[in-house]
Structures are given as C-alpha cells and as structure tokens.
C-alpha cells in the first residue's frame, strides 16, 4: 500500500548532521498533521554531531507524526536508544514498506 503523498514526507539529509539540520527536520515535522508519516533518510550524512543527535531525540519524542529514521551509524543508533527513542522508529524496515519513496 502506497502512502498518501499529502500525508507523507521524505527528508533526505547529506553532509554534516548538525543543529541546523535538526531545526530543518523539526520545522518540517511540525508543519504536518498528526496522522502524517515522515521518513528521515540520513544515509548520506558523513559527519554526525552528537548534540544534534540529542536534539533529534527530543524532536522524535514530541512529534505528532509517525517518524522513521534511516541511515544511522551504530554510535548514533545507540545514542538515540539511550535517550529513549523507540527502536521501531529507527528500523530501516519501515522505510522499505514504502517502495514509492525509496531512491
């Protein structure tokens, strides 16, 4: 089943994942309705800032939309888990369930 494009959003980031990146993600998620699905693809990020990962955990905790994060390295995955993010939000399998959104 393909997600309704009006209620789905794919956010692809590259380069450095920093505070500006998190603020971009936050503003895009806040603009969506609560029944939206958001796929955050970090697979092209080459440099993760730990403070930005901590801020991402805060964004995920308060998001009304369903958010799935893909492309984390082991350290960032562990950080988000330690900060209370549910593993199901970090499962790349969720990203695979929307084939029309994959690259």
**Looking at residue 92, what is its pLDDT?**
54
**Looking at residue 94, what is its pLDDT?**
43
13 phi/psi in degrees, rounded to 5? -115, 150
CATH number at residue 36: 3.30.750.24
Query: Is 13 within the bounds of a domain?
Result: yes
**Looking at residue 8, what is its pLDDT?**
84
**Looking at residue 91, what is its pLDDT?**
64
Give every residue of the chain whose pLDDT is below 70, as ranges.
1-6, 91-103
Beta strands in 1-103 (DSSP E): 8-17, 37-48, 66-70
Q: How many domains does the chain have?
A: 1
**Looking at residue 11, what is its pLDDT?**
95
Range of the domain at 71: 7-101
pTM given for the model? 0.80
- Helix crossing, 19-30 with 50-62: angle to 10°? 10
Question: What letter would DSSP give residue 2?
Answer: P
Query: Is 24 within the bounds of a domain?
Result: yes
């Amino acid at each position: 089943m393909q997600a309704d494009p009006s209620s789905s959003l794919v956010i692809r980031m590259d380069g450095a994942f920093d505070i500006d990146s998190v603020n971009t993600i936050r503003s895009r998620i806040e603009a969506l309705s609560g029944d939206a699905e958001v796929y955050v693809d970090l697979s092209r990020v080459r440099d993760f800032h730990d403070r930005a990962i901590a801020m991402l955990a805060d964004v995920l905790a308060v998001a009304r939309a369903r958010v799935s994060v893909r492309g984390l390295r082991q350290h960032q995955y562990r950080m988000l888990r330690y900060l209370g993010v549910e593993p199901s939000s970090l499962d790349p399998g969720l990203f695979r369930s929307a084939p029309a959104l994959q690259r």
